[in-house]
Structure 1
Amino acid sequence: MDKLEGLRAFVKVVEHGSFSEAGRALRLSRSAVSKYIADLENDLGVQLLNRTTRHVSPTENGQAYFERVLGVLGDLDAADQAVADLQATPRGLLRVNAPMSFGTLQLGPAIADFMVRYPDLRIQLVLSDQQVDPVQDGLDVTLRIADLEASSLIARKIMPIDRAVCASPDYLAKHGMPRHPSDLREHNCLTYGYLSTGNQWKLSGKDGDHWIQPPWTLCVNNAEVLRDAAVGGRGVALLPVFIANAALHSGELQEVLSDYRAPPLTLYAIYPPTRHLALKVRLFIDFLVERFSAATR
């Protein structure tokens, strides 16, 4: 048995909870992965995995072995990567996931410039407003605008995302200008559907913090749709400034409640934990920090 390949197969089975998914990740057949695990168990004289028709999970011995094997493979990968990094030229495929609006408005131009800097890289960019699993989906970097929950993944802050309360001049002419956050309860509001705070808006000013449960007429998980609805006079929206900027500058939207501020969101780069971050991932994240931190100064 190739012990190293057996260890890699074992780790993938534990991570994916499935022989078939592990096989897909390793580009091996299910039977090949199963044989690797059987050979490992025979060699060690212990059962490493509990198997059911729907799921595979480590035994107590298997969990302890998994944690030690991760360290061993991490050291090997780090050694390989350290040698590869001496070449100082990132190559291969970089798989990136990002929110739809940020991807089209901000990340697209950045990706183009990054490709000029590192022409030997191939980049697969997947834009989606749905939450994805970076490990299950085989992603190198996932960009998220959110308040992150506890996770085993590593997150690096890229930049804050400021937000503003906006409405069209036509809407304000018909419904009046809100002067205080509590006035929003009398307005049609357009809300983002996937924020961790639900549909509550927090606005802070000199008189403290105000939590508003806006009476919404549109709830959607894409901020460009909210912006377009606000431009069309459908109501008041709490929008990321990078999405609202063009409409604010053109006069299609007007900022309201400017004495109050919503807490900024944060753009994070998320990647699986590793002892030695792949050069292509490190360079990409460093590039984003450099580019977007400069834009916020």
Structure 2
Amino acid sequence: MDQVHLMQVFVTVSEEGGFAAASRKLDVSPAAVTRAIVALEEQLGTVLLQRTTRNVRLTDAGRQYFDDSRAILASIAEANEAASGVNAEPRGQLSVTASVLFGRMYLMPCIVEYMQRHPQVEVSAHLLDRVVNIVEEGIDVAVRIGHLPDSSLRAFRVGQIRRVLCASPAYLAAHGVPGHPSDLLQHTIVSSSAISPRVEWHFGSGAEQLTVRMKPRLVVTSNDAAMQAALGGLGITRLLSYQVAQEVARGALVLVLENFEEAPWPVQVVHREGKYGAFKVRAFIDCVVERLRAQPELQG
């Protein structure tokens, strides 16, 4: 059998979790799927899938072959797209991800503009306050805040943001403005676990870095909730500069301890190695990079 076909069948069985589901996805008979997997395992001389009455599981060898096969199939698709010509219209499925608030404020306008330009592309937007593994979860493009530990990802830097402390003018008038991070121990603290799950807040950088162990009075799981608590005058919270930029500009929130802030974090558009060759991915990256670099809140 054709090697590419065998890989396609194997990857589909692995992704769908079973032979019957793969046969429906590929629109072939279950017997044809079984023959393809048997032929592939005989060719490789190893077991790729452990079969049970209810599902299939990848063996260690199968897991490695699955990752390699999916990468090879993606490269073939990219080569086909590249060969179709520079004037080809982007089409197909595109998956993107960002954090919830960043996605709502900045990524969604990019997606809307992109989809209006390219009507043959369908987009899945995963807006989540967690780090998505774009390789394992099949994401094409992600916007990441912070340094990238994974060198297999390619990145376009579009700006930088700061972790800032802020409170309402009413709270500061009633309780005073902290002049040093240690003064926070005398204040009401609102902590967003979406920003930092730890109760230790770090300040400064290098040899001048210091840490304050906080005891928040209120802990929330979303940045929006922390900002609302600060706007309501409950206490001091720590968020990202872009999240509070509008409220600071209109005077509803005031930044404190700016001289003790950590070094800024980069904002980067990342994608899997090689995926920039796909027309739909390249067109989206071009669109989102241009838009994000034009945002003044992301340049400080």
Give the corresponding residue for 1:178.
178
Q: CA deviation at 1:226?
A: 1.2
Q: CA deviation at 1:149?
A: 3.9
Check 1:131–1:210 CA distance in 2 against 1; reply closer, same or farther (3 A cut): same
Check 1:79–1:33 CA distance in 2 against 1; reply closer, same or farther (3 A cut): same
Question: Normalization by structure 2: what TM-score?
Answer: 0.80
In 1, the alpha carbon distance for the partners of 2:29 and 2:204 equals 55
Give the corresponding residue for 2:104.
104
Give the corresponding residue for 2:204.
204
In 2, the alpha carbon distance for the partners of 1:25 and 1:213 equals 55
Q: CA deviation at 1:27?
A: 4.9
Q: Deviations over 1:27-60 (max 9, x none)?
A: 5689454432112223x2612425264731243x
In structure 2, the gaps of 5 or more residues are none
Alignment of 1:60-71 (within 5 A): none
In 2, the alpha carbon distance for the partners of 1:188 and 1:25 equals 57
Q: CA deviation at 1:101?
A: 0.5
2:94 maps to a residue whose letter is L
Q: Deviations over 1:54-83 (max 9, x none)?
A: 731243xx6786687567545533320212
User: Is the 1:12–1:25 contact (alpha carbons within 8 Å) kept by the matching residues of 2?
Assistant: no
1:145 maps to a residue whose letter is I
Match of 2:204, SS?
strand
Match of 1:216, SS?
coil
User: Is the 1:22–1:33 contact (alpha carbons within 8 Å) kept by the matching residues of 2?
Assistant: no
Check 1:205–1:167 CA distance in 2 against 1; reply closer, same or farther (3 A cut): farther
User: Is the 2:157–2:266 contact (alpha carbons within 8 Å) kept by the matching residues of 1?
Assistant: yes
Give the corresponding residue for 1:224.
224
1:111 maps to a residue whose letter is I
Give the corresponding residue for 2:129.
129
In 1, the alpha carbon distance for the partners of 2:191 and 2:208 equals 22
Give the corresponding residue for 2:50.
51
Q: CA deviation at 1:280?
A: 1.2
Match of 1:259, SS?
helix
Q: Deviations over 1:201-221 (max 9, x none)?
A: 222289922222222123334
In 2, the alpha carbon distance for the partners of 1:37 and 1:229 equals 56
User: Is the 1:192–1:199 contact (alpha carbons within 8 Å) kept by the matching residues of 2?
Assistant: no
User: Is the 1:143–1:267 contact (alpha carbons within 8 Å) kept by the matching residues of 2?
Assistant: yes
Give the corresponding residue for 2:144.
144
Give the corresponding residue for 1:84.
84
Alignment of 1:129-278 (within 5 A): 129-150=129-150, 152-195=152-195, 198-204=198-204, 208-274=208-274, 277-278=277-278
1:56 maps to a residue whose letter is L
In 2, the alpha carbon distance for the partners of 1:85 and 1:253 equals 52
Percent identity between matched residues is: 31
Match of 1:6, SS?
helix
Check 1:266–1:104 CA distance in 2 against 1; reply closer, same or farther (3 A cut): same
In 1, the alpha carbon distance for the partners of 2:46 and 2:154 equals 31
In 1, the alpha carbon distance for the partners of 2:5 and 2:233 equals 60
Match of 2:203, SS?
strand
Q: CA deviation at 1:113?
A: 2.8
Q: CA deviation at 1:93?
A: 2.8
Check 1:196–1:142 CA distance in 2 against 1; reply closer, same or farther (3 A cut): same
In structure 1, the gaps of 5 or more residues are none
User: Is the 2:90–2:280 contact (alpha carbons within 8 Å) kept by the matching residues of 1?
Assistant: yes
In 2, the alpha carbon distance for the partners of 1:27 and 1:181 equals 60
In 2, the alpha carbon distance for the partners of 1:65 and 1:234 equals 54
Match of 2:249, SS?
helix
Q: CA deviation at 1:195?
A: 4.5
